[in-house]
Amino acid sequence: MYSNNRSSRLARLGLATAIATAALGTTTLPAQAAPTFVLNFLNTTSAPEQAAFTQAAAVWSSVLADNVTVNLTVGTAALGTSILAQAGSTQVEYSYSNTRAALVADATSSNDAIATANLQPGPNLRLLINGTVNNPNGAGSFTPYLDTTGANTSQVNMTRANAKALGLGSSGLLGTSLANGCTTLACDGYIAFNSTNFSWDLDPSNGITAGLFDFVGIAVHEIGHALGFISGVDILDTNSPGIRFYADDEFTYVTPLDFYRCSAASAAQSALDWTAGTNTGTRLFSLNGCGSSLASFATGQIRGDGNQASHWKDNQSLGIMDPTTAPGEQLTITSLDLTAFDVIGWNLTSTPSVSAPTVATPAPASALVFAFGLAGLGFTRRRTLA
């Protein structure tokens, strides 16, 4: 999960502030031509758990090539009984024009070239939206409509770590929202693992023991959210069902990942699909405006398929950013995961590899269309990753 606000008007999504505690210590991974992770550990975190978090951060350092520093507060805490772990990210807001220009300037790969060539020209986005108080189909209706003038169409939110990778700084910055659980402005994200309801395997080098959950793999997943694998559709999905219906000019939560979120319905109107629920069918991950797709996204925890939109579609074994996992399952980064991080602004190493979890070498975009779709484990054996 992640939190964000705009002028404190929207409800925060994130960790309960009660679980923020003093840090036990700090681990800094060596600086290199890759992200440097500064990990500040909560005092509930054991030495073996600290080592596992450090290993998870090293996974990302091995596959990403942006020389930036990411500051994370991590540890264990009491969470909901069905939640393995949660992540909150400090987020920043820029205009779509500035974000688009940064993505174009940062393009280094063939996938970047495809993605940036197909970005909407701006300065306003075209997107399908629903669940708003000013929906022309009726206040709060989940029938989608085309929005081209709301704040959501001209402004973009992203995690601060993602902004660092894009080289976006204070110039053009429209606002900052500190993650729940973070206690200083330097904090880029907060990650907490369930300390009471699950048993963990802290060493994935020899596989994951039956009945235990993959601590390192799940930490890789949660760090992935802090790095930018988020969707503002989760805010729409969570706020609209009755907490309060917001007008489309109050939502400013489109993220870089949402630039590649589409459906047949949105493609027919040359728009992004920023709807919550199932009215527009499958939500596709596409680099070329839905001309072709690489995979599917989840559609919403409340109005959609039961999983947050900031994840891949479940039970298709798509990658580390799947929404659920099972005991005994070892989580792995796939070329699909890496493609997503590539096109939101991160650069990939030329030969990504790591011992655990295993990292697949990125495939060309044309091959990715056929690379994913293996059956996942049964839903009843899986637990939610937030």
HEC string for 90-145: CEEEEEHHHHHHHHHHHCCCHHHHHHHHCCCCCCCCCEEECCCCCCCCCCCCCCCE
Question: What's the structural domain count of the chain?
Answer: 2
Residue at 36: amino acid letter: T
Q: Looking at 297, 312, 342, which one is the last position of a domain?
A: 297
On whether both 30 and 79 belong to a single domain, the answer is yes
On whether both 160 and 112 belong to a single domain, the answer is yes
What does the pLDDT read at residue 133? Answer: 87
On whether both 190 and 252 belong to a single domain, the answer is no
Count Cβ atoms within 10 A of the Cβ of residue 328 and give its class: 0-12 exposed, 13-18 middle, 19 or more buried.
middle
159 touches 2 (CB < 8 A): yes
Residue 8 lies in a domain: no
For residue 28, the enclosing domain spans 17-90+177-230+326-363+377-384
On whether both 112 and 156 belong to a single domain, the answer is yes
Structure-model confidence comparison of residues 102 and 142, the more confident one = 102
On whether both 161 and 183 belong to a single domain, the answer is no
C-alpha 201 chain-centroid distance: 24
Residue 311 lies in a domain: no
Examine the pLDDT at 220 and tell me if it is beyond 50: yes
Q: Under DSSP, is residue 177 helix (H, G, I), strand (E, B) or coil?
A: strand
Residue 133 lies in a domain: yes
What does the pLDDT read at residue 377? Answer: 18
On whether both 138 and 218 belong to a single domain, the answer is no
What does the pLDDT read at residue 240? Answer: 65
333: DSSP letter: B
On whether both 52 and 122 belong to a single domain, the answer is no
On whether both 170 and 254 belong to a single domain, the answer is yes
d(CA 90, CA 242): 26
Examine the pLDDT at 158 and tell me if it is beyond 90: yes
Residue 281 lies in a domain: yes
66: DSSP letter: -
Q: Which two tokens stand for residue 120?
A: 């909407």
pLDDT tens, residue by residue, 172-199: 999 999 998 998 899 999 999 998 888 9
Residue 304 lies in a domain: no
Task: Tell me how far CA of residue 135 lies from CA of 5, 250, 259, in angstroms.
Answer: 21, 13, 22
Residue 105 lies in a domain: yes
On whether both 26 and 169 belong to a single domain, the answer is no
On whether both 156 and 212 belong to a single domain, the answer is no
Residue 307 lies in a domain: no
**Region of poorest pLDDT, from 227-231, 335-339, 361-365:** 361-365
Helix%, strand%, coil% for the chain, nearest 5: 25, 20, 55
Examine the pLDDT at 30 and tell me if it is beyond 60: no
Rg (CA), the chain: 19
What does the pLDDT read at residue 10? Answer: 22
Q: Under DSSP, is residue 69 helix (H, G, I), strand (E, B) or coil?
A: strand
Residue with tokens 């939610």: 384
What CATH number corresponds to the domain at position 49? 3.40.390
Q: What is the pTM of this model?
A: 0.85
On whether both 339 and 221 belong to a single domain, the answer is yes
Structure-model confidence comparison of residues 167 and 197, the more confident one = 167
Residue 185 lies in a domain: yes
pLDDT tens, residue by residue, 107-129: 999 999 999 999 999 999 999 99
On whether both 23 and 36 belong to a single domain, the answer is yes
Torsion angle defined by CA atoms of residues 35, 36, 42 and 47, in that order, rounded to the nearest 10 degrees: 110
Nearest-CA neighbor of 123 among 101, 91, 106?
101
**Region of poorest pLDDT, from 107-111, 116-120, 285-289, 382-386:** 382-386
